[in-house]
Structure 1
Amino acid sequence: MRIHVETFTVHKRFPLTISRGTTAQTTNVWVRVEADAIEGWGEGSPFSVGETPQTTEAIAQQLQQIAPALEPLHPLDRQRIERVLQEAQLSSAAHAALDIALLDWLGQKAQLPLWRIWGLNRDRIVPTSVTIGINPPEVAQQRVKDWLQLTCAKALKVKLGSPDGIAADQAMLLAIREVAPPQVKLSIDANGGWSLTDAIKMSQWLEQQGVTYIEQPLRRGQEQDLLKLYERSPLPIFVDESCFTSRDIPALSDRVHGINIKLMKSGGLSEAMRMVHTARACGLQIMFGCYSDSGLLNTAAAQLSPLADHLDLDSHLNLLDGPFSGASLQDGRLLPNDLPGLGVYYAPQS
């Protein structure tokens, strides 16, 4: 098989501010795996958790370096391919890009969409949330109006953990409640921006505001404190940065209610499926989320979304110039199509 690697840059319609900073554009990596006159597509999106960022340059370089070792193999040689990837110690984002491309190739070879190969039911897909970043209250209100006009969203994920403290978080949330329709569900993602004391206070206050759950209230590395929060929070707790792969799940199962699976963290759809089964075996709920992912990656995640309790696959909806189309937004739900593989096609926005 032949492997092609190139990069592309996308720009956000609304710059996104979280507890760790603001993002207005990203450069992602597009991977194409070619064999038997079929091309499978994958994508690597840069992200950062803690002190080990996975950059665009590193992802592209790793993929280019591994390509010669993979070329003698066929996309169906998955065990042999996996051994090569493990020996190369690829980053999770580079591994994900290849895994997704290989599964896209497989679906096209079988002439079936991946969700159909896995026997999933699109009717089970819940609405995806759209994200409101940390902003002054009046800006946050305008973002809500913009998103509702753009997507008719059924759910809002609000980023809290403001560097100005929980008073600023509360002011922003109250402002959002003033303009959000009552039927729109609200969830919170603090991105590790709270102390344990503030997380306990906010969980109790947010429950009174009708919020559905809290994501990553404490920073990665404070997993021991999650148990104390779990015992006192009236709201379900989900983790994101604290959970990368299926190996992380059992140790968290007594202190959280669910996990956020992101393809860049997990290393692709194959590990994401393992995470789903591991989490369910531990009695946990499932969420699928995204970074600065284009329509290619969110369409890939949508293939597994019938297995999720919550979805946050909105990053491509916030792009001015996303080059890929695939899953479509219908009544607030991101639905994969009937095309084989991922069902993604190249359609640059002007």
Structure 2
Amino acid sequence: MQIRVETFTVHKRFALTISRGTSAESTNVWLILEHDGIEGWGEASPFSVGRPQPTEELVLQLQQIAPQLKSLTPFDQQRIEQILTDANLPSAAQTALDLALHDWRGKYLGLPLWKLWGLERDRIVPTSATIGISSPEAARQRLLHWLQLAPFQAVKVKLGSPSGIMADQEMLKAVQQEVPKGAKVSIDANGGWNLADSISMSHWLAEQGVTYIEQPLDKGQESDLLELYRQSPLPIFVDESCFDSRDIPKLADRVHGINIKLMKSGGLSEALRMIHTAKACGLQIMFGCYSDSALANTAAAHLAPFADHLDLDSHLNLIDDPFVGASLENGCLVPNDLPGLGVQRVHG
């Protein structure tokens, strides 16, 4: 296998603010794997939760591991996974390789991944439109912009404002003025609340008709999830507290669901393990994203039939996404019939 990596920078139409800060652009990694005249594509996007994974490190690690994979083929999955584990490769770098391997195999066999896995696209639930932390009026306008793009049936509101839960409440009430009738609303605090505020907000949010709360407590406060789980009238999901399948059993008695992100998990292979582990533990599943392009979000969309909730909208907020793949149909992100991931370059 021949592997090369390139970087590309994408810019957001609207900067996204969460409890940890604001992002307006991202420099991601495009990995191209070539074998027997077929190319497989993968993506790595940087993030800072847990072990920071900056773009420069992702590129360096992928370049260093490439010579060890040269004598292997895309069908040598177990050997490749062992090499990546032994090298302690960052999860986003593993994701780039894993996506490229899946893409290559699908192209070799001439089938899209969803069909190879025997999944049904009509089971895909609507993806949410994400509203970042801002003033109430700016948040309301942001939802209106999303609704001009597509008839979204789900809205995810980022809370955990540094200004406190009263500011969170005012922002949510403003957004609710524009939420389409029948659309579900979820909340993601990105660890921005303490236990007392989480309990208080869970009751208030339940009165507002919110569907679930994601990551109310910061990573490292998982012990407090037990009390929140006991008192919250709403389901609790975790994101930053759950990276891969090994984390799930430890959380199963204190959450209702997990957020799977390909960059955290290390790719589709581990995401599948997480799905089956979560289901065995009786937990619900959602898929999320970082500043991913259509390449990574299309990859996640192939597993979307397993999900109870989806938040795969990052590429929809980009003004210069170099890739096109899954299409937005009635608010649902649906992978196409092309082989592999079904992703193409925007310009050739």
How far 1:179 moved relative to its partner? 1.9
1:297 aligns with: 296
Q: Distance in 1 between matches of 2:78 and 2:43?
A: 21
Number of aligned pairs?
Answer: 348
Q: Distance in 2 between matches of 1:113 and 1:179?
A: 37
Deviation beyond 6 Å, 4+ runs, structure 1: none
Q: 2:101 matched to 1:102?
A: yes
1:69 aligns with: 68
Q: Is the 8 A contact 1:322 1:348 kept in 2?
A: no
Superposed CA offset, 1:261-302 (max 9, x none): 000000000000000000000000000000000000000000
Query: In structure 1, the residue corresponding to 2:177 is in which secondary structure?
Result: helix
Alignment of 1:245-256 (within 5 A): 245-256=244-255
Q: Is the 8 A contact 1:155 1:186 kept in 2?
A: yes
Q: 2:6 matched to 1:9?
A: no
How far 1:78 moved relative to its partner? 1.4
How far 1:76 moved relative to its partner? 1.1
Alignment of 1:138-153 (within 5 A): 138-153=137-152
How far 1:348 moved relative to its partner? 5.0
> CA RMSD of the aligned region, Å?
0.9
Q: Distance in 2 between matches of 1:348 and 1:163?
A: 42
Query: In structure 2, the residue corresponding to 1:173 is in which secondary structure?
Result: helix
Query: In structure 1, the residue corresponding to 2:97 is in which secondary structure?
Result: helix
- Please, what TM-score do these two structures have when normalized by structure 1? 0.98
Q: Is the 8 A contact 1:239 1:260 kept in 2?
A: yes
Superposed CA offset, 1:94-114 (max 9, x none): 001101100100000111100
Alignment of 1:43-192 (within 5 A): 43-50=43-50, 52-192=51-191
Q: 2:23 matched to 1:23?
A: yes
Aligned residue type for 1:46? P
How far 1:85 moved relative to its partner? 1.2
Query: In structure 2, the residue corresponding to 1:17 is in which secondary structure?
Result: strand
Identity of aligned residues (%): 70
Q: Distance in 2 between matches of 1:82 and 1:172?
A: 44
1:271 aligns with: 270
Query: In structure 1, the residue corresponding to 2:217 is in which secondary structure?
Result: coil
Q: Which blocks of at least 5 consecutive residues in structure 1 are unaligned?
A: none
1:34 aligns with: 34
Aligned residue type for 2:179? A
Q: 2:242 matched to 1:257?
A: no
Q: 2:310 matched to 1:311?
A: yes
Q: Is the 8 A contact 1:42 1:296 kept in 2?
A: yes
How far 1:182 moved relative to its partner? 2.5
How far 1:81 moved relative to its partner? 1.4
Q: Distance in 2 between matches of 1:84 and 1:215?
A: 34
2:285 aligns with: 286
Q: 2:214 matched to 1:227?
A: no
Q: Distance in 2 between matches of 1:102 and 1:224?
A: 38
How far 1:77 moved relative to its partner? 1.4
- Please, what TM-score do these two structures have when normalized by structure 2? 0.99
How far 1:84 moved relative to its partner? 1.5
How far 1:249 moved relative to its partner? 0.2
Q: Which blocks of at least 5 consecutive residues in structure 2 are unaligned?
A: none
